[in-house]
Chains A and B, each alone.
Chain A
C-alpha cells in the first residue's frame, strides 16, 4: 500500500514536471515569435521614415533641423511597437 502511494506521488510529480516543461517550451517559442514578429513592422517603418527624412533634408537643407526633430519623434513612436514586443518577450520568458 505504501509502495502504491509512492508511485502515485511520483507519477503526479513527473506529470507536473512535464507540464512545467511544456509551459516553458511554449513560453520560449512564444517569446521568440513575439519579439521577431514585433520587429518586422517597426523595422520597415523606421527604414521608410528615415529614408524619407534624408530625402527631405537633401532637398531642403535649410529645414534640416525641423525635419530631424520630427524624424526622432516619428522614430520614437514607431519604435514603441518593437519595444512592446520586447517587453512581451521578457514577460513570456522570465515572468
Chain B
C-alpha cells in the first residue's frame, strides 16, 4: 500500500500542487490510479465494516442455535432424563429401604444381645445364690459339728473331772484313815498305852480339815 500524505496547508497553496498533479499525471499515471483505487477500497471497506460487526448476533445463527437448544430442552424434559432420573430414584429408594432394613436388623440384634445379657445376668445371679446357699449350709453344718465336738469334749472333761474328784475323795478318805491310824499308833507309842482309835477320830478329822483349809 502506498501512502501519499499531503498536508492540508500545502493543498491550500495553489502553485505547487498543480506542478505535483501535472507531474503525477504526466510521469506516473498508474500511481494516481492506484491511489484512487486504494481510497475507493478503503471507503468500500469502511462501508462493509459497518454491516457485519463481529460483536452483534447474526439472525440465522441465532435461529439455528435457538431451534437446536429448544429441541434439546424439550427432549431433555420429556424424553431423555426420565429413565435416568427414575433409575436413580429407584436406586435411592432401594438404598433407603436397605438402610432401614439394616437399622431394623441392628435394633433386633441389639435387643437379642440385651436379652442374652439379661439371661446371662440372671444365670449368674442364680449361680451366686446357689453358692451362697451352699456356703450357708456348709457353715451351719460346720457350726453344728463344732458344737457337737465341743459338747463331747465338755462331757469328757466333766467325766474326767468327776473321776479325778472321786479319786481325790477316795485318796483323801484313805489318807484320813491312814493318818488317824498312824497318829493313834504314834500317840500309843508316846503314851505307852492303847488309845481308842474311835474316840480320837474327831480330833484327827478336825485337825485334818484345819490343815486342808490352811
Contacts and interface: CB of A to CB of B under 8 A. Distances in A.
Interface of A: 3-4, 6-7, 10-11, 13-18, 20, 87, 90-91, 94-95
Contact of B36 (A11, A13, A15): A13
Contact of B49 (A4, A13, A94): A94
Interface string B1-30: 001111010010000011001100100000
Q: How many B residues are at the interface, by size bracket?
A: 20 to 34
Interface of B: 3-6, 8, 11, 17-18, 21-22, 25, 32, 35-36, 39, 42, 46, 49, 53-55
A7 B21 contact: yes
Contacts of A4: 18
Contacts of A6: 21, 25
Nearest to A11: B11
B54 A14 contact: no
A69 B97 CA distance: 32
Contact of A17 (B21, B25, B32, B42): B42
Given A3-B22, A13-B39, A95 B53 contact: yes
A20 B44 CA distance: 13
Q: What 9 pairs between A and B have smallest CB-CB spacing?
A: A11-B11, A95-B53, A7-B21, A13-B39, A14-B6, A7-B17, A94-B54, A6-B21, A3-B21
B55 A90 contact: yes
A95 B54 contact: yes
